Amino acid sequence: MDLRSYYGDPHVRRRMREFLGGPSDGEATCAYLCRCDSADGGVHRHGSERLDAFLEAGWEVGRSLWDHEGLIAHLDIEYVNYDYPGEAIKDPQRAFRIQQPLVDAIEEVLADYGVSALHLLTGRGHHFVWRIPYGTPAASSLVAVGRMPRHMALTNATIRSPRGDQLPVEACRGHAGLGLVMERLSHRFVEKAAPKCEIPVELTDVRVGPGERGREGLSIDLSEYGDPVHTRMIRLPFSAYLKPWLKPGLFSPDQHAELPLLFAVPQHEFDTRAAIDVMRDPERARDLARRVSARIPDGSDGTRRLIEDYRDSPLARFHDWYYDHQPEAPERWAETYDTLDLDRLPPCVAESVRRPNDVLLQPAGIRRLVATLWADGWHPRDVAGLIRSKYERDHGWGGRWYYYDAATRADFYTRLFASWIAVGNDELVDYNCQSEKEKGLCARPFGDCDLTDWRRRALERRWT
């Protein structure tokens, strides 16, 4: 069965429309559709009425996180390998088996809160999706706890969906609030799962050291909460998964001919091993679409309990402390952040400040800078300000920061890694020269350098 024949199945299209938020195109609640396989890597917004055209073209289809009727919560868990990026496609049974302790922990924690989520499988991992309708106590609480850079209020007022709707404030602040409570969730996941996992579990796509099959790890990818809500999307259930063919470096052209078609499918009434087989068989995926709903469930009651737990946590107190401090304004960067004495920093960190592209786009590079300046007594909000000052200067970023927001991105990653240290979850075991060399992030692989004292000072500043 070819992809267009598969996409022509009415049950496949019905399930996709359910995920868009309605039984028909005209009733979809998502703000836009987009291609996941765009050649330029950008997110180009189209109205939901274009779904049939997307499918007839054989594209990989996503929907916006921005929804007209509520907030969309999304957790993305995946196997990553920095030496063999196609490993999860070549040996899916192993890649998904390694993820199982983490998936078990996620399902257990979500059940503790009473969160109902749609569980999807894609080529490299798992996705858990639920919605929080506007007007519910949970949505109101997320809007109340959400934090945004001040300038984003002006930016958001200019954003409109393909049908002309303005991006509402509650969508922006609620998405930011979700990012805070998702940090709380991720801490619980790691605490439960990491001791049982064969390979490292990281928050976002942090590069790790070598393991059994290269530098492999599990990512709890919260990165979508580091960007404004209107810029991020989720792949539709039953959509094709075309990354193995489109992402450079995964497979050679000869290998592409041997790959099966891959689809994003709900995990329903079968274990992960069986789900992998369904994901690689268009006939079985099409049969699944006849029987299984892809509607995003209402998880607002469970989310309300999650928010209550978050508010009572040390993490929430850290977030309050973090946002009580204001970073330096851009007009003061020359006399503040630009005066940082790089000669007293470890060479790898100093080099990432001098030449930030692309080390300060890599979560591992940001994490190292955060740990170092935290050890040096910096308030982490100023670390975010320093990173923003690099993002908004000409370091060859191209048009990246015309679409995404530099301040939001810098705040998110700095907060994420600083909180992980502060509340006692990060022992900085890989904050050492040998690990930096193994990650490929050492600026002086044959020189003298020692991070031992920096690590000691960073751990001394922990809150717990």
Band (pLDDT 50/70/90 cuts) for residue 255 is confident
- Per-residue pLDDT at 2: 84
Token pair for residue 50?
């274009």
CATH number of 3-305: 3.30.70.3300
Average pLDDT over residues 347-368: 96
Average pLDDT over residues 381-395: 98
What is the model's pTM?
Answer: 0.95
Cα–Cα distance between 136 and 129 in angstroms, integer?
A: 17
Cα–Cα distance between 151 and 234 in angstroms, integer?
A: 26
Band (pLDDT 50/70/90 cuts) for residue 448 is low
Listed in order, strand segments (DSSP E) in 241-314 are 265-266
- Per-residue pLDDT at 25: 53
Band (pLDDT 50/70/90 cuts) for residue 239 is very high
- Per-residue pLDDT at 256: 80
Cα–Cα distance between 261 and 274 in angstroms, integer?
A: 16
Listed in order, strand segments (DSSP E) in 151-283 are 201-203, 216-221, 233-235, 265-266
Name residues whose C-beta falls within 8 Å of residue 255's C-beta, 6 or more positions apart in sequence: 86
Average pLDDT over residues 236-242: 96
Please say if the pLDDT value at position 442 is more than 80: yes
Please say if the pLDDT value at position 27 is more than 90: no
Nearest residue to 58 via CA among 122, 123, 5, 14: 5
Average pLDDT over residues 153-177: 93
- Per-residue pLDDT at 348: 93
Q: What is the end-to-end Cα distance of the chain in Å, rounded?
A: 57
Average pLDDT over residues 17-35: 86
- Per-residue pLDDT at 248: 75
Token pair for residue 158?
């200019």
Amino acid symbol at 54 = F
At 70 the three-state DSSP class reads strand
Assess contact for 462 and 455: CB atoms under 8 A.
no
The phi and psi torsions of 63 (rounded to 5 degrees) equal -120, 160
Residue 162, judged by CB atoms within 10 A of its CB (0-12, 13-18, 19+), counts as: middle
Answer with the residue of higher pLDDT: 459 or 152: 459
Give the long-range contacts of residues 244-247, CB within 8 A, separation 24 or more.
Answer: 244/86, 244/89, 244/123, 246/37, 247/85
- Rg, Å, the chain Cα set: 22
Length of the chain: 464
Which sign does the torsion angle of CA 43, 46, 51, 57 carry? negative
Average pLDDT over residues 428-442: 91
Question: Helix count (H) and strand count (E) of the chain?
Answer: 21, 9
Domain boundaries, the chain: 3-305, 325-460
Please say if the pLDDT value at position 24 is more than 60: no
Average pLDDT over residues 415-429: 94
Band (pLDDT 50/70/90 cuts) for residue 157 is confident
Mean pLDDT of the chain: 93
At 442 the three-state DSSP class reads coil
- Per-residue pLDDT at 449: 81
Cα–Cα distance between 461 and 291 in angstroms, integer?
A: 54
Average pLDDT over residues 432-457: 86
Listed in order, strand segments (DSSP E) in 113-160 are 118-121, 125-133
Residue 327, judged by CB atoms within 10 A of its CB (0-12, 13-18, 19+), counts as: buried
How confident is the model over 29-52, as pLDDT tens digits?
999 999 987 656 667 899 999 999
